[in-house]
Amino acid sequence: MSQNKSVIMHLLSEARRGLDLTHMRLPAFMLEKRSTLEMFSGFLAHPDIFAAVPDHASARERMVTIVRFYLSAFHATRTGKTATKPYNPVLGETFHCFWDLPGDSSSTTTTATSAPRPDTQQTQSLVESGPVPYASYNSVSFTAEQVSHHPPVSAFYGECVPKRMYVTGSIHTKIKFLGLSVGVYNTASLKIHLLDHGEEYTMTFPNTYIRSLLTYPWLELGGRSTISCAQTGYSANFDFHCKPFYGGRKHQVSCEISHKSEKLPFHKIEGEWNGVMYTKFSKERRDVFMDTVNTPTRRKKLLTLSAQDPGESRRRWQHVTEALARGDIDTASQAKHIVEEEQRADARLRQEQGIEWQPKYFHAEGDGWVFNSPLSTRLNQK
């Protein structure tokens, strides 16, 4: 522990306030045992809430459920009490998984050989042409790809075929040194599409801060974010409150949901984004809106490690993860160095041959990245 603290002190002495740390190579002991691409999959760790959105008849209830899904997502992307940093994905790295919805269960890994049920052939055909072809017919699937290294951009896509809905987006993160803390600033473009309702929900995200670098680093969210739907006129505004230096509580969030035709919000929410959040009716009355402590996440399913492509996250970082799990920091550092050197060698080769990198699953569109074959496109081809 004292040796690790000495390394942190050295990093702090070399850094200056406002320094861009986005591409800084951190020592292995500061790493989380997963890639950033896998971390983003936590956004769909409550797939049942996501899949429930289009079930509501009114646009107002759909908006409230979208907000519930959004507020359920943040705690699932953060693991452990001490803040650590997931691996920086290498260019072209991918991650694929799916979650069975209630009523469908199997093992937590798959071999992509199970036959579809006779009454689900059409749905299964759409699943098989989607981002995770081995997913079960009644599931939410997810795929992510590192589409750019300079700047670092991760693109991701998720869908639920039975509910005719999907989410697509990309995130460009910038990491800055702030003295005794680190700020992770997210420039994100994310949209949820409800095809049967003709609705598109656009979302933004708060920033992330890692505090108390010299003692027990902890993570908090801070800043404002929004959800809006142009088709219905509903919107939600969020404030993620940073803890004051003296006093105050950690992890506080507040939200107001409103319609453009109304002067006042019709729904107010407050609480802890990694705890319990309440619908606020008055000073005396509030009801539970989302309880992240007692609402279990569903376990994601992946191909077995040996069946994964060499470019998939868990296989790409396998030796780093195994060494960290053993507490073997030296071996983890060596394995991490090998992955990073392979990326540099690939980049040099492309430069020498004049080859421009082309992502496999996504393409640039406007200011963001979109999945090459979203559910809406595949439905039109049927």
pLDDT digits (tens, 9 = 90+) for 278-289: 998 876 778 999
Read off the pLDDT of residues 370-380 as tens digits, 9 standing for 90 and up: 999 999 999 98
- pLDDT score of 217: 80
Is residue 307 domain-resident?
no
Lowest mean pLDDT among 124-133, 173-182, 288-297: 173-182
Q: Is residue 370 part of a domain?
A: yes
User: Does residue 301 form part of some domain?
Assistant: no
Cα distances from 219 to residues 59, 79, 205, 214, 295, in angstroms, run 34, 10, 15, 13, 21
pLDDT digits (tens, 9 = 90+) for 338-363: 999 999 999 999 999 999 999 999 99
pLDDT score for 124: 84
Enter the pTM of the model. Answer: 0.88
Cα distance between residue 336 and residue 37, in whole Å:
16
Please tell me the predicted confidence (pLDDT) of residue 117. Answer: 41
pLDDT digits (tens, 9 = 90+) for 134-153: 999 899 999 999 999 888 99
pLDDT tens digits, one per residue of 21-69? 555 566 666 688 999 999 999 999 999 999 999 999 999 999 999 999 9
Residue 303 lies in a domain: no
Beta-strand relationship, 31-35 and 85-87 = parallel
Q: Which residue has the higher pLDDT, 120 or 237?
A: 237
Number of domains in the chain: 1
213 is in which domain, residue-wise?
2-292+314-381
- The mean per-residue pLDDT over the stretch 107-118 comes to 43
Q: Does residue 308 belong to any structural domain of this protein?
A: no
The CATH number linked to 367 is 2.40.160.120
Geometric angle at alpha carbon 81, from 79 and 82, rounded to 5°: 95
Please report, rounded to a whole number, the percentage of residues in the chain having pLDDT higher than 90.
66
Strands (E), the chain: 31-35, 85-87, 94-100, 109-110, 139-148, 153-160, 165-177, 182-194, 199-203, 207-211, 218-229, 234-241, 252-259, 267-272, 276-280, 286-291, 302-303, 362-365, 368-371
- pLDDT at 112 exceeding the cut of 50: no
More confident residue, 211 or 50: 50
Q: Residue 69: inside a domain, yes or no?
A: yes
pLDDT at position 243 over 60: yes
Question: What was the pLDDT predicted at 103?
Answer: 74
